[in-house]
Amino acid sequence: MGRSSFCRYSCLLGGLVLLVACLRKDVRTPVARLNASNFAFPEVPYTLENQYTPERFALGKKLFFDPILSIDSTLSCASCHKPSLAFSDSVPFSPGVMGRPGTRNAPSLANVAFHPYFLKEGGVPTLEMQVLVPIQEHNEFAHNIVDIAEQLKKQPVYVSMCQDAYGRAPDAFTITRALGVFERALISNNSSFDRYVQGDNTAMSKKALKGTNLFFSDRVGCTNCHSGPNFTQYAFETNRSDTTDGDIGRIRFSKIPADRFHFKVPSLRNVELTAPYMHDGRLATLEDVVEHYNGGGHSRAAPNDKIKPLGLSKHEVVELVAFLHSLTDTLFVQDPRWEY
């Protein structure tokens, strides 16, 4: 073979190797194909009768942090939904008034504005209606919103703030609407992952990027339940946890036997901050959660065809957890708007 022929052959072979390598890299690296628009939230859906105003936000914030909402004035919304924890709590069950035991792990309120329904059964259609649940629950605030309104009417600051926000005295309308405005403002969309898909190639570590590839792969299948801007489809699924804790899930609302042990899929945003995990807080760490799914769930759990053993290596478990850490929005939890 002549020198020129050899050079042409070498160049051709090199080009083919490079092409194969690129194609292989593309197949193995779905992160390179992620589109930022798939993770962008729409505008916050404020209702026509309850649009955002600074006055309504201020009133809602004051109510959120005020223990006056509980029967003995010992607990506020923020007692169980702490800003530093992405508006979640750090215990399996947050205690209610008079030390009464909680019944479910407190969820994060980040991006709650985009939820199509509320509570883990999905039985409440609006944020304003959801506000009433902890207020009247025996194991939470054990109070009555009519009585709360009467208490607020005795405080000039609340009378003034309600007039400024809604042009009326404190009542059930002003309380629930103002809290709805405040909670809809809890938007978290500036994590390392968000910055990466928007073009900042330095935002995520190599380990987190490998975990991203795993998360979005068909092999692991996380996106079967955790997709979209908020990393949830808001569907109702069994997570194949042991079902001996007595919480029967969505069937409490739907009365449909197939909904037994099904719960609304939670968002994964800021999941690093919201331990412990599952509806009953049974898993202490993200590593425990990944290992739970890696093993295909509990043998005594309700079945779910989407959950099967994954066969992840120890290194892959670490990488997947690193990806989950990349969903933490530090600016959100440190936002001075939540200081009180």
Claim to verify: residue 200 and residue 311 sit in the same structural domain: yes
pLDDT reported for residue 299: 67
Tokens representing 272 are: 């690093």
- In a domain, residue 13? The reply is no
- In a domain, residue 125? The reply is yes
Claim to verify: residue 123 and residue 244 sit in the same structural domain: no
- In a domain, residue 9? The reply is no
- In a domain, residue 202? The reply is yes
Q: How far, in Å, CA of 153 to CA of 148, rounded?
A: 9
Q: Give the HSE-up count for residue 168: Cα atoms under 13 Å, Cβ half-sphere.
A: 10
Claim to verify: residue 140 and residue 116 sit in the same structural domain: yes
Considering Cα of 43, then 45, then 46, then 49, what sign does the dihedral take?
positive
pLDDT reported for residue 139: 96
- In a domain, residue 19? The reply is no
- In a domain, residue 263? The reply is yes
Claim to verify: residue 243 and residue 295 sit in the same structural domain: yes
Q: Last residue of some domain: 186, 219, 250?
A: 186
pLDDT reported for residue 20: 41
pLDDT reported for residue 6: 43
- In a domain, residue 250? The reply is yes
Q: Give the 3-state secondary structure of residue 335.
A: coil
Claim to verify: residue 131 and residue 178 sit in the same structural domain: yes
Claim to verify: residue 220 and residue 134 sit in the same structural domain: no
Claim to verify: residue 89 and residue 127 sit in the same structural domain: yes
Q: Last residue of some domain: 131, 152, 186?
A: 186
- In a domain, residue 53? The reply is yes
Contact 215, 320 (CB under 8 A): yes
Which residues of the chain have a pLDDT value below 70?
Answer: 1-30, 243-245, 299-301
Phi, psi of 332 (to 5 degrees): -65, -50
- The residue segments making up the domain with residue 163 are 48-186
Phi, psi of 236 (to 5 degrees): -110, 120
Claim to verify: residue 164 and residue 57 sit in the same structural domain: yes
For the chain, the domain total comes to 2
Claim to verify: residue 202 and residue 271 sit in the same structural domain: yes
Q: Last residue of some domain: 186, 209, 240?
A: 186
CATH of the domain at 304: 1.10.760.10
pLDDT reported for residue 24: 40
pLDDT reported for residue 21: 43
